[in-house]
Amino acid sequence: MNALDYIKERGDLSFKADPFNEVDNLVFSQLIYANFDRILKKDDRLSIQQLGELYLKETEKNLKLSQIFGMDGLRVLKTMMNTVRYKDCMLYNYESLLHADTAEQFAACMIDLPDRTTVICFKGTDESLIGWKEDCYLSYKKIASQDDAVLYLNQHCSIFRKYRIIGHSKGGNLAIYAALHCKPLLRNRIIQVISNDGPGLRPGSYDEKEYEKIKDRYELIVPEKDGVGTIFEMAPKRTIAKVLTRNIVEAHSILSWQVRANRIERANADSFQTDKTRIALLRFLNDSTDEQKEIFTEELFKAMKEAGIESVTQLASGGLPVFLKVIKELAEMDSVARGIAIDLAKTFSISVSSGLRLTKKVHESAGNIKAKAKHVEMSLASKLIEDYLNEMKENEKKKEK
């Protein structure tokens, strides 16, 4: 079962009967993805039940939910709102920012629990290209959302409460960054930091002596098919969650992680350590300089914008035709950016070929796909498509066996 099933099966248990656990962390980390912008005003303080009732009065069109994580956040809220466990938990201090000019996408909220602790949830990346561009920035520089997260703790936390700081994806990065950079008196009130498949912090971007003081309160949870959480990995404690998908994008979603009772099901550590896609991504990041990462990031997102891509969902659901459009734009990169693009693009092509649910018709038209690739005026593009098709065929052979 997943976190949604957990809410249904154990929602009748109060926090007194079953204290806050790692699956509650998943529930709250998913909840923050629901877009509360049209629901909550700055000073509102609402119970989960009240929030759910307001949400249900809105139409999906008005809510402007992201297609993957946002809809999952709404499903979680609808399931939570009438349970004994969650309905009376108070949510407040909701903040949300989205600025294209600074590639800044940030949201956070606070939720009071009956045990007199407060959960602070930082939202991860939604499907907007702004958010994913900010994620790429994480690999070589400080991002605006990190400053937002520190400011959020400093403004809203009190020395009279205890806090659990959590988040998924980029939200997990913000959780540990804010915990390390907030006011020292507030840091002493933090009893737990949980990053759910979130990148760690770049070496040199934090004080290692301060980290030593908090690291025993810091935990990383990653899916067994991981491409995010082990980037700049620094947590002393890592939990590997079992998932029922081999798609790296789907595996990143919290609702794909398997749970049993009030615990996350553990996956085989050996298969995690040898995962080829994860290793290739980490190799690319380790072998590239900050300058190279910056050049590639700016050129990649410029290419996607010029190809008419506005969200990651659009890129994934569009399949090969959309992928080809992006490759065509990549062909116009300067020579430095083209060289940097090769390793990461190969990694991406492997992920796409194993992850997208390609129809039988697409499989049968491999010759046509190669023909299309010839019109892309760049050897890199042809090589990528060839890798894409070969990987697709290998996956089919494995399925047949």
Are the C-beta atoms of 154 and 246 separated by less than 8 Å?
no
Which has the minimum average pLDDT: 202-206, 241-245, 375-379?
Answer: 375-379
> What digits encode the pLDDT tens for the residues 29-81?
999 998 888 888 878 999 999 999 988 887 555 555 555 567 889 899 999 99
**Structure token pair of residue 377:** 């005026």
pLDDT value of residue 51:
94
Q: How far apart are CA 160 and CA 256, in angstroms?
A: 36
pLDDT value of residue 361:
35
pLDDT value of residue 362:
33
> What digits encode the pLDDT tens for the residues 222-258?
998 876 787 888 999 999 999 987 777 778 889 999 9
Any idea of the CA torsion for 180, 181, 186, 192, to the nearest 10 degrees?
-30
pLDDT value of residue 364:
37
Residue that wins the pLDDT comparison between 321 and 184: 184
pLDDT value of residue 215:
95
Instruction: Enter the DSSP assignment of 67.
Output: T
Per-residue confidence band for 165, with pLDDT thresholds at 50, 70 and 90: very high
Which has the minimum average pLDDT: 21-25, 128-132, 220-224, 257-261?
Answer: 128-132
In this predicted structure, the answer to whether residue 393 has a pLDDT above a threshold of 70 is no
* Residue 325 phi, psi (nearest 5): -60, -45
Cα three-residue angle 113-117-121, rounded to 5 degrees: 75
pLDDT value of residue 172:
96
pLDDT value of residue 129:
72
Per-residue confidence band for 401, with pLDDT thresholds at 50, 70 and 90: low
Are the C-beta atoms of 209 and 217 separated by less than 8 Å?
no
Residues near 61 by beta carbon (within 8 Å), at least 6 away in sequence: none
> What digits encode the pLDDT tens for the residues 286-344?
667 788 778 777 777 777 777 677 666 666 555 545 555 555 555 555 555 555 555 44
> What digits encode the pLDDT tens for the residues 98-153?
887 777 889 999 999 999 999 999 999 876 677 777 777 888 889 899 999 999 99
Residue owning tokens 């380790």: 286
In this predicted structure, the answer to whether residue 375 has a pLDDT above a threshold of 50 is no
Q: Using CB atoms within 10 A of its CB, is residue 327 exposed (0-12), middle (13-18) or buried (19+)?
A: buried
Q: Which domains does the chain have, with CATH numbers?
A: 3-274 (3.40.50), 288-393 (no CATH)
Q: What is the rounded average pLDDT for all residues in the chain? A: 79
